[in-house]
Structure 1
Amino acid sequence: MVTRINLAYTGPVNPPGAKPVLSLQQVWQGLERKVRYAQEFVPVIESCKVTREEGVEVDRYVIFKPQDGAEHGKEGESVHELVRLYEPCKVDFARDDGSLVCNIVADGPAGTTEDLQMTYSFELKFPDIKEGDTKAIEEMRKKQQGMAKTAVESSIKTIREMVTDGRIK
């Protein structure tokens, strides 16, 4: 049986003092770019190759860096993802193994640009972890939770840098 680990992380897009303040449109442009150039946004991704774009669907292959992302694929092996874009708030990355990663941008309680939130949710499958191995499952959950936090924060940081240098308007 395959072990499933489900988790999510939410972070503020525009924490106090962040400059420039990012709009929903700018964050969406960043997420669209992330679909095609994932390695610019997520430190554990080494490369990304798009093989098909059709409407709101994109087929891509990503390679994870072996030291941090080995559980997502063997070194040098591509992981296929079918990506679906739901403008302006959600991108789904469905992997062939049944894992699903969702990137969501939403209003916070205040409903203002300054209160935008970004959430990455993960439904991950780990065939090498035995069901019921609570220690291994908890260790992997902890590792993945840290990676989720890094993915959200690095994506926001990259989008902000791209707005600052003009790659995103």
Structure 2
Amino acid sequence: MPTNNIAFTAPVNPPGTGLRLHSDQIWTGLRLKIRSAETFVPNAISSTTVISESIDPTTGNEVTVREVVFVESERKAQETVTAFAPSRVVYKQQDGSTISNVISEDMHGELYVTYTFEWRHPDVTDEELPALLNKEKKMSRMAVDGTIAVLRRLVDTGKI
């Protein structure tokens, strides 16, 4: 199946940003993003509806089933979202597409957010895939940068 695999990483607290975010604040924000994706990526997702929430009895991980509506196509996608506290959230769509949001730190303790995307395109030819790749690369960068900006705003306004 034609698939685009993309990853993008950005520093959470680059020099000159002022307010320093901490990993627990980022984790709180990523958990909020599960239930309200449009708060973090309004250019990509217009709404989020939580269908169910549970705890996986074998791992203790939070599992949320949700439906999101994409802005550009108005396409709806059901996702099963697993939160691996305190560092990773994995979104799995019914077509097998997978997105991961990861909080990490370097050897000096500086925080980063990385998003990985495995976009599956069952109805696309291999020749059409590169055009989608360019679009998806832009979207991945926007998703990471946008999420960090929203996290910063939510912390600054006391909502996280």
2:47 maps to amino acid: S
Q: CA deviation at 1:128?
A: 2.6
Q: How big is the shift at 1:138?
A: 1.7
- Matched residue, 1:95: 93
Q: Which residue number corresponds to residue 116 of structure 1? A: 111
Percentage of identical aligned residues: 33
What TM-score, normalized to structure 2? 0.92
Displacement after TM superposition at 1:33 (Å): 0.3
The residue number in structure 2 matching 1:17 is 16
Greater helix proportion:
1
Matches of residues 1-169 of structure 1 in structure 2 within 5 Å?
Answer: 2-42=1-41, 43-55=43-55, 56-66=62-72, 70=73, 75=74, 77-110=75-108, 112=109, 115-131=110-126, 133=127, 136-168=128-160
Aligned residues: 153
Name the TM-score, length of structure 1 as normaliser: 0.87
Unpaired stretches in structure 2, ≥5 consecutive residues: 56-61
Per-residue deviation, residues 89-127 of structure 1 (Å, max 9, x unmatched): 0000000000000000100232x2xx1010000111112
Whole-angstrom CA distance in 1 between matches of 2:103 and 2:13:
12
Deviation at 1:50, TM superposition (A): 0.5
Tell me, what secondary structure is at the counterpart of 1:14? coil
The CA RMSD measured in Å over matched residues stands at: 1.0
Letter in 2 for 1:141: L
CA offset digits 1:109-153 (Å, max 9, x no partner): 32x2xx10100001111123213x1xx222211110110000000
Distance (whole Å) between structure 2 residues aligned to residue 105 and residue 8 of structure 1:
13
State the distance in 1 between where 2:18 and 2:54 align: 35
DSSP-derived class of the 2:69 partner: strand
Alpha-carbon shift at residue 20 of structure 1 (Å) = 1.1
Amino acid at match of 1:104: V
Structure 1: 4+ residue segments shifted above 4 A:
none
Paired amino acid for 1:122: F
1:72-98 Cα offsets, whole Å, 9 max, x none, are xxx3x4210000000110000000000
Distance in 1 (CA, whole Å) between partners of 2:153 and 2:84 is 24
